[in-house]
Amino acid sequence: MKPDFKIVGHRGFKSKYPENTIVSFLAAMDFGVDSIEFDVRLTKDRQLVVTHDHTVDRCSNGEGLVRDFLFEDIRKLDFGGWKDSKFAGTQIPTLEETLDAILGKDPNFPLLVELKEDDDECTKRVYDMCLKYNVLEHGLMLSFHPRQLQLLRSWNPDIYLQGFPDRYIKVPQPPEAFNGLYNKTCLWTTDAKPEEIKFYHDKGVAVDLCPVDNEEQLEIAIPLDVDSITTNAPDVIYPLLRQRGLR
């Protein structure tokens, strides 16, 4: 890992809190992660909500596609009790509530805002919201949908964008992927190789490694020249880093 590597809290503090909820984000900040990543989706009435999966099944007490729920109905679901009864009653947050909560605590806190929808109008609204909250001064936007990154780049030559290698996505990266479209990419810990990290660095593209949640994954990460690591378990990783003099 680079000497100044950063630590990204994946969906907040995912191992101990219900992912992609305000309580998870605030806990990750309190723990001291350098930045927080979260996922944005659309409801049926096109409200911007923060959740990872395309269904509500895994992370709530409901069933069905996020995009089939009206906002007022998805808000009735419990997005916390599945993780632990002490989180029962936690609601799915909107993008605006997420930004208010995190940036209300620290206006300069770096965020990684992932566009889960391949939807131009959604991307524009998320982008506008990020501008309104100054997210792009310190953070980045990312997506598995190259078209959305191309749109963002067409609107803003200076925005910091994260993409993914071809093998992780359904639509191949456009030719300009390594010529100004992406500033950063993300490799899975299971298949990151030094040659590939060098390939990206030679093109000026930073590299994140995800996930780094335990000692075995940290031992893979340490010798690699990555710019950041993404963790679900900061409570496990920080003590291991401290033992090694890396934090």
* Sites for Ca ion among residues 112-131 (CB under 5 A): 114
Taking CB within 5 to 8 Å according to partner kind, which of Ca ion, ligand G3P, none is near residue 230?
ligand G3P
What are the φ/ψ torsions at residue 112 (nearest 5 degrees)? -115, 110
**C-beta of 72 vs 168, nearer to ligand G3P:** 168
* Sites for ligand G3P among residues 136-195 (CB under 6 A): 142, 186
Cβ contact 74:92 at 8 Å: yes
Residue nearest to Ca ion (CB): 114
Rounded to a whole number of angstroms, the minimum distance from the CB of residue 37 to Ca ion is 5
* Sites for ligand G3P among residues 47-106 (CB under 6 A): 52
Sequence-ordered alpha helix ranges (H) in the chain = 22-31, 71-74, 95-105, 120-132, 135-138, 146-155, 194-202, 215-221, 234-243
- Binding residue for ligand G3P (CB under 6 A) from 60, 173, 230, 231? 230
**C-beta of 73 vs 165, nearer to ligand G3P:** 165
Structure tokens at 125: 């609204």
Rounded to a whole number of angstroms, the minimum distance from the CB of residue 110 to ligand G3P is 13
What is the C-alpha to C-alpha distance for residues 123 and 46, in angstroms, rounded to an integer? 12
| Residue 223, Cβ density class (10 Å: 0-12 exposed, 13-18 middle, ≥19 buried) | exposed
Q: Which residues bind Ca ion (CB under 5 A)?
A: 39, 114
